[in-house]
Structure 1
Amino acid sequence: MTELSPRLSALAEAYGVATEFWDWQGRHVQVSAETVGAALAALGVQVADEADVEAALAEVDRRPWTRVLPPVVVTVQGRRPEVPVHVAEGVRFEARVVLEDGHVHEVGTLEGDGRPRATRELDGVTVVRVPLDLGEDLPLGWHTVEVAAGRNVRRMPLVVTPARLELPEVLAEQDSQSWGLMTQLYAMRSDESWGIGDLADLGDAGAWAAGLGADFVLVNPLHAAEPVPPIEPSPYLPTSRRFVNPLYIRVEDVPEVAYLSAAERQLVEWHADDAKRYLDLDLIERDAVWMAKEAALRMIFRQRRSLRRARAFHAFVEREGQGLVDYATWCALSQVHGTWWRSWPEELQDPRGAAVEAFREKNADEVEFHCWLQWILDDQLARVQRDLVDTGMSIGLISDLAVGVHPDGADAWGLGDALARGVTVGAPADQYNQLGQDWSQPPWRPDKLAELGYAPYRDMVRAALRDSGGLRVDHVIGLFRLWWIPQGRKPFEGTYVRYDHEATIGILLLEAHRAGAVVVGEDLGTVEPWVRDYLRDRGVMGTSILWFERDWEGDGGLLEPQEWRELCLATVTTHDLPPTAGYLEGVHVELRHRLGLLDRSLEEEQAADAASRDEVLGDLRRRGLLREGAPVPEQVEALHAFLTRTPAKLLGVSVSDLAGDKRVINQPGTDEEYPNWRVPLAGPEGHAVRLEELFTWRSARRLARTVDQGH
């Protein structure tokens, strides 16, 4: 490992690249010069030698003085934002804020006269830094600062965000709790599903849960996947986080089905029967299901639309703008050239190039088809949320936002250099993955996000919240810092890169406030202590998993229920663990052993795992929640009953636990070694279970009532 020079360390700090950190065991780790250099290269800074380092440091110092305004300012309502304006000495300029609603907030006329202000000689010109005080009465929203000197006008986005995201009324009351379902939608199938769970199934499951007192349904990311096989099974490795996977469309619910001829209807039924054959298989068959569903949808797409529907479609395309056009164009290009856009002809790798524009014009119908699919999804998602609220849920749908996107997907193509090249996102070593993890996703570039005024990030968050009452942010710590791994290196050879969390969290809260939504941050794993305090103070809920809630700063013992966080989603399990019945039987240990993921013997791991489980179950018996010798189903109920004794505002119940499923949904650290994200919902014996059957089970209703009656 090459040691860092002091000047390279200073450059890394200027760009938010960590040169040291403390690992999960509390050990101090020094990052190598090679890793730091690779991270800087991904930020557009080449440092082959010390001369490069000195030149880059000089540019960091010089750059702000070359700009009249910074790229963007994100502030908090009630705070007095001060914007540095750089003008030539003696230049008079006018400043104002154009509010989002068009009203103008005048700042006044100022002069760069050098009075106790910082100055700098730049290319023979004396530049003055004038602090522009915008006041403290600016409303929430996306505004624009304008600075005019003569005919020259410079503009800068100004984002005013809430200091705190307040809870909805149902949760704001003291000692209030709400519970809801957590589900992998693709796995939750009904007799009417085309081989995979869809939005109609989501609505039906929510209506059933609402009848038992549930207030929300938290669903896995519904982000868009590839439009052609092979389709990536992981909902956490999408092609786009802004758009939705057409696999989740319920074909029969598209209004234009009404205009099909008898022969066309028969063809749709034939495609449906073909897809439903896959309901009887042990694994989800996305590729085959999509081939059947796509054929039916293309037939429906060609039907006439009423004037009302045609205008609604046009309004949707206008609202989504260039982002939708780029996504649909990538889908159309993928039909011809495959989904790995970096293998396309070079002229098609630039979404703003003439070749892409020519392709779009020539294939306008195909581009429109993919826009239409997103419109149908938007309509069906909105209907699900309306129906959930109408059935009595106070929150309704809680969407899930993945950490990143596929490196060869639509976002990676359409967003250009807003995403870093040459590095991937992952996680450092921890107690569960001691070699670290590489998620193969390109990270946001913090500098480019700022230059773009955070517009791509805002559009993504806004889309995720549009038809939801809440948003779960996977790996919310990534809004503060992300683990960047240089290509070709092992996961543990990465380093952290910091983001402007005041901006990323602030924009998230602004969009959630406007949507009237709650925000849940998945804050598990290696987390700096102050981060959880910051999220709590700004109204972002955390995530608490029963098995991991211990006094980590003390003796490591189990937390008393009253010591749990109030502002959190509390659950017994998560998608990276087996369903609770499987966890209680240790299936995860056996699976990790079979896959070679253990760093100690099977016997040692089983003993440690059993001791941890026995400690929890013993605590339940001590509290009178569990009788001695109780079978696994009663243990599952007791674990959920314990959650109701905590102050947690939200309680989540996995649909897999309702079914008594035991199979692992996702085994971290694996790819093809295990069928991650392809396991359908099953019962205790491993046989597939349909929603209609699950709704009749007394055991499912009993578990739901356990959390409902507990509070």
Structure 2
Amino acid sequence: MSDEVLRDLARRAGVAVEWQDYAGNSHVVSPPVLRRVLAALGLPADTGRELSASRRELSKRSSLADLPPLVTAVAGRPTRLDVGGNESQPAELVLERGETRQISLLPARGRLRIPAIAEIGYHRLRVEDREIVLAVSPARCRSIEDVVPDARLWGVAAQLYGLTHPGDVGIGDLGGAADLSRVAGQKGADAVALSPMHALYAADPEHFGPYAPSSRLFLNPLHAAPELVFGKAAYGDVLAQVPGAEPGPSNGLIDWPAASATKYAVLRRLFDNFLDSAEWDGPLGADFARFRANRGPLLYEHACFEALHAARMPKAEWRNWPLDLRDPRGAAVAFFAESQAEEVLFHQFLQWIADRSVEAAQLTARQSGMRIGLIGDLAVGMDPGGSHAWSRQSDILLGLTIGAPPDLLNPAGQNWGLTSFSPRAMEENGFAPFLATLRAAMRHVGGIRVDHAMGLARLWLIPEGADPADGAYLNYPVVDLLRLLALESVRHNVVVIGEDLGTVPEGFHDMLEQGGIHGMRVLWFERDGQAGFVPPRGWGSSAVAMTSTHDLPTVAGWWKGSDIDVRHEHGRLGEGVNPEEVRAQRDKDRPLLWHAFVRENVTEGPVPSPEETDRVVDAAVRFIAKTEVPLSLIPLEDFMGQEDQPNLPGTVTEHPNWRRRLQVPASDILLDETVARRVEAIAAERPRQ
């Protein structure tokens, strides 16, 4: 078995056998890595016989019987099928609304082609003895310009867990998001972008990183705001019944284990009261029943996982459970679920409360005048030991984790410890896992931010146990994924933002723009070589502009240079990088940024000292506001002039990532004199039309 035959199989499966690093150096993926990636794709190649069988598996489709269960198309455009044909083929099209049409598949350059269909939706195409779904998408996602033509909107970005409000029990929740949205909307904001709300692990409160979810199909109950569902009075009665429900003085950091225990105790008491109350047979009980029915098997399986995880071994992932419990549809799991029916119901209840909390917070945002409202965040993957991986094992690239190859700041590469969908499994299952994830992300919000949007085109995948550099890029069916994203975006009236920072495949920015997906522009990256910072008019007109993100320095932290100190302390400056050289470069960069501010008339006077951060933050907010992009998003940390960033990439417990708790109630943040000045400045530059 030659390596060239192996590489040929890998190429046909969408695995890149070579890659270039940040310096332009070429690298060849080793045969062992290729075999591990192919095995996760269901294409074993350890022996000559396996390799031959896998090659046959990838043979090009030649008949209608080989069509996948779902084919995507764009409204008003013919669609070529990956099926050979030189003669027309009669077919029947059943539109989603029920109308039936007789059509013909016509040959074009040796392939059959579906004629243009004007109506978007999930239609059924019947040809010979096959029936497939024909997903006809609009040409573009719903954009901010669709919401407000010639838009120049502004909004706030917030770490949900860090918001505070009465009754939050020590962890920010959607009640705080509602409070923030109400005030922000009244001041002219049109959006509040939140950190991910995905489900983590109820039984493992030390697993609190929002970008490492157990499942992206469901929500973190710790962010539920029961008062938005049951009312403040009823929730207040429950709080009074649970010791410690009113958190004491805060040191500015969330104690996730303690606060989680208290919040779940409150939610448990609420559940017990609900079962015994008249509400169980009233409107709320009926709504809960509809929610369980509508969310179906996925919700039930997630609830079973949570109950099992708590009962068996909270610190052990499911691949180390007894063999019979690893099968979500096996007899052992069914017996457990029947014997613990109330516990499973409790976890379904938690999801209902969380779901209705998002709905209520979005309603508050819209009633405050916001045209977009909440913008949710869709993480790039999920924990391989979590709920989704257990309940839908065939969806997942088990044995591989997502990361990034070596670059200047991370010379060893990165391993994020997450996994994602198998592209082959997605296509074979009619993209069901991808669609379920999109629909979950788009429930009750006005926008979503797709984390590491490059994952729609390719992911860097690392065999478990290998170094991050020993990985390979795997291509995804980006055309199909973008079409489905556009279709779901329009159906849900949700705008889409793609995080397109870092190493981006060639042409990917153009694909996002053509698909109506707004990219991201961040102050620190808008540089004009050594000449300085790009003026606002050079930021383009289709992206979303931000001063910073959760992974990057705040404006005050960058100006002061405290971000350099923190990265040096934790070994995150890069291998062999001298911190004094980094500080010297920052000394050169400060005047460049200040002069860019002065040129745009957002400030004046000499360059402030590194300790004088207030005027710099004021100027940065106004600078972002002057861009021509449709939406400017300012993180709360920058509105408040804070130095510390929410997350320091490359660290886990050695830095207080995802733990910073704001000391000001969410309802009062924008009313602070300094913050209000910045809010008024951006609102004046981008007035609501």
Report if TM-score (shorter chain) is over 0.5.
yes
Match of 1:449 among 402, 426, 429: 426
The one-letter amino acid paired with 1:617 is W
Instruction: Give the Cα separation in 2 of the matches to 1:286 and 1:492.
Output: 33
Instruction: Give the Cα separation in 2 of the matches to 1:64 and 1:93.
Output: 14
Instruction: Give the Cα separation in 1 of the matches to 2:536 and 2:386.
Output: 44
* Residue 678 of structure 2 corresponds to residue 678 of structure 1: no
Q: 1:164-183 counterparts in 2 under 5 A? A: 164-168=140-144, 172-174=148-150, 176-183=151-158
- Corresponding position of 1:233: 208
Deviation at 1:256, TM superposition (A): 7.8
* Residue 19 of structure 2 corresponds to residue 13 of structure 1: no
SS at match of 1:492: coil
Deviation at 1:461, TM superposition (A): 0.7
Instruction: Give the Cα separation in 2 of the matches to 1:116 and 1:209.
Output: 54
Distance 1:444 1:64, change over 3 A: farther
SS at match of 2:614: helix
CA contact (8 A) 1:251 1:296 kept: no
Match of 1:209 among 144, 162, 184: 184
User: Mean Cα displacement is larger for which, 393-402 or 368-377?
Assistant: 368-377
SS at match of 2:218: strand
* Residue 547 of structure 2 corresponds to residue 566 of structure 1: no
Instruction: Give the Cα separation in 2 of the matches to 1:4 and 1:485.
Output: 23
CA contact (8 A) 1:257 1:300 kept: no
Q: 1:225-374 counterparts in 2 under 5 A? A: 225-255=200-230, 268-271=239-242, 274-277=244-247, 280-302=250-272, 303=274, 304=277, 305-339=280-314, 340-374=317-351
Distance 1:708 1:529, change over 3 A: farther
- Corresponding position of 1:40: 38
Instruction: Give the Cα separation in 2 of the matches to 1:62 and 1:520.
Output: 35
Cα-to-partner distance string for 1:413-448 (whole Å, 9 max, x where unaligned) = 112121111110011223332322111111210000
Instruction: Give the Cα separation in 1 of the matches to 2:48 and 2:224.
Output: 56
Cα-to-partner distance string for 1:653-692 (whole Å, 9 max, x where unaligned) = 11112222212311111112212111222xxxxxx33335
* Residue 467 of structure 2 corresponds to residue 487 of structure 1: no
Instruction: Give the Cα separation in 2 of the matches to 1:267 and 1:538.
Output: 48
- Corresponding position of 1:200: 175
Q: 1:85-100 counterparts in 2 under 5 A? A: 95-100=91-96
SS at match of 2:58: helix
Identity %: 35
Cα-to-partner distance string for 1:389-432 (whole Å, 9 max, x where unaligned) = 11111110000000111111111111212111111001122333
* Residue 387 of structure 2 corresponds to residue 410 of structure 1: yes
- Corresponding position of 1:156: 132
Q: 1:523-534 counterparts in 2 under 5 A? A: 523-534=500-511
- Corresponding position of 1:140: 120
Distance 1:144 1:437, change over 3 A: same
Deviation at 1:39, TM superposition (A): 1.1
Cα-to-partner distance string for 1:518-568 (whole Å, 9 max, x where unaligned) = 11000000012300011101110000001101346xx77532321212111
Paired residues, what number? 673
Distance 1:613 1:40, change over 3 A: farther
Match of 2:517 among 532, 540, 543: 540
* Residue 119 of structure 2 corresponds to residue 106 of structure 1: no
Instruction: Give the Cα separation in 2 of the matches to 1:342 and 1:236.
Output: 21
Deviation at 1:143, TM superposition (A): 2.1
Match of 2:80 among 82, 100, 106: 82
- Corresponding position of 1:29: 27
Instruction: Give the Cα separation in 2 of the matches to 1:309 and 1:247.
Output: 20
Instruction: Give the Cα separation in 1 of the matches to 2:22 and 2:540.
Output: 22
CA contact (8 A) 2:104 2:115 kept: no
Instruction: Give the Cα separation in 2 of the matches to 1:246 and 1:255.
Output: 15
Deviation at 1:211, TM superposition (A): 1.8
Instruction: Give the Cα separation in 2 of the matches to 1:116 and 1:466.
Output: 40
TM score, norm. by length of structure 1: 0.89
* Residue 512 of structure 2 corresponds to residue 516 of structure 1: no
Instruction: Give the Cα separation in 2 of the matches to 1:167 and 1:84.
Output: 31
SS at match of 2:72: strand
* Residue 606 of structure 2 corresponds to residue 628 of structure 1: yes
Q: Which has the higher contact order (CA 8 A, sep 6+)?
A: 2
Cα-to-partner distance string for 1:592-615 (whole Å, 9 max, x where unaligned) = 111122321211122223323332
CA contact (8 A) 2:547 2:638 kept: no
Deviation at 1:84, TM superposition (A): 5.2
Instruction: Give the Cα separation in 1 of the matches to 2:112 and 2:19.
Output: 37
Distance 1:491 1:166, change over 3 A: same
* Residue 352 of structure 2 corresponds to residue 375 of structure 1: yes
Match of 1:187 among 162, 167, 181: 162
Q: Give unmatched runs, 5+ long, in structure 1.
A: 119-130, 682-687
SS at match of 2:507: helix
Deviation at 1:296, TM superposition (A): 2.2
Instruction: Give the Cα separation in 1 of the matches to 2:532 and 2:399.
Output: 42
Distance 1:256 1:581, change over 3 A: closer
* Residue 554 of structure 2 corresponds to residue 579 of structure 1: yes
CA contact (8 A) 1:278 1:285 kept: no
Instruction: Give the Cα separation in 2 of the matches to 1:84 and 1:194.
Output: 55
Instruction: Give the Cα separation in 1 of the matches to 2:96 and 2:199.
Output: 30
Cα-to-partner distance string for 1:355-414 (whole Å, 9 max, x where unaligned) = 222222222211111111111122121111111111111110000000111111111111
Q: 1:543-622 counterparts in 2 under 5 A? A: 543-551=520-528, 557-598=532-573, 599=575, 600-622=577-599
The one-letter amino acid paired with 1:35 is V
User: Mean Cα displacement is larger for which, 487-496 or 690-699?
Assistant: 690-699
CA contact (8 A) 2:104 2:114 kept: no
Q: 1:664-703 counterparts in 2 under 5 A? A: 664-681=645-662, 688-703=663-678
User: Mean Cα displacement is larger for which, 322-331 or 189-198?
Assistant: 189-198
Q: 1:107-126 counterparts in 2 under 5 A? A: 107=103
Instruction: Give the Cα separation in 1 of the matches to 2:491 and 2:154.
Output: 23
SS at match of 2:520: strand
Instruction: Give the Cα separation in 1 of the matches to 2:506 and 2:622.
Output: 29
SS at match of 1:146: strand
* Residue 440 of structure 2 corresponds to residue 463 of structure 1: yes
* Residue 413 of structure 2 corresponds to residue 433 of structure 1: no
* Residue 623 of structure 2 corresponds to residue 642 of structure 1: yes
CA contact (8 A) 2:304 2:344 kept: yes
Cα-to-partner distance string for 1:70-90 (whole Å, 9 max, x where unaligned) = 232112111212335689x99
CA contact (8 A) 1:546 1:573 kept: yes
The one-letter amino acid paired with 2:302 is Y
Distance 1:614 1:27, change over 3 A: farther
Distance 1:623 1:556, change over 3 A: closer
Cα-to-partner distance string for 1:121-178 (whole Å, 9 max, x where unaligned) = xxxxxxxxxx554321242112222334xxxx4332221111112434576533x310
The one-letter amino acid paired with 1:290 is S
TM score, norm. by length of structure 2: 0.92
The one-letter amino acid paired with 2:94 is V
Instruction: Give the Cα separation in 2 of the matches to 1:570 and 1:313.
Output: 39
Instruction: Give the Cα separation in 2 of the matches to 1:526 and 1:62.
Output: 31
The one-letter amino acid paired with 1:78 is G
Instruction: Give the Cα separation in 2 of the matches to 1:267 and 1:388.
Output: 26
The one-letter amino acid paired with 1:638 is A
SS at match of 1:648: coil
CA contact (8 A) 1:582 1:588 kept: yes
CA contact (8 A) 1:425 1:485 kept: yes
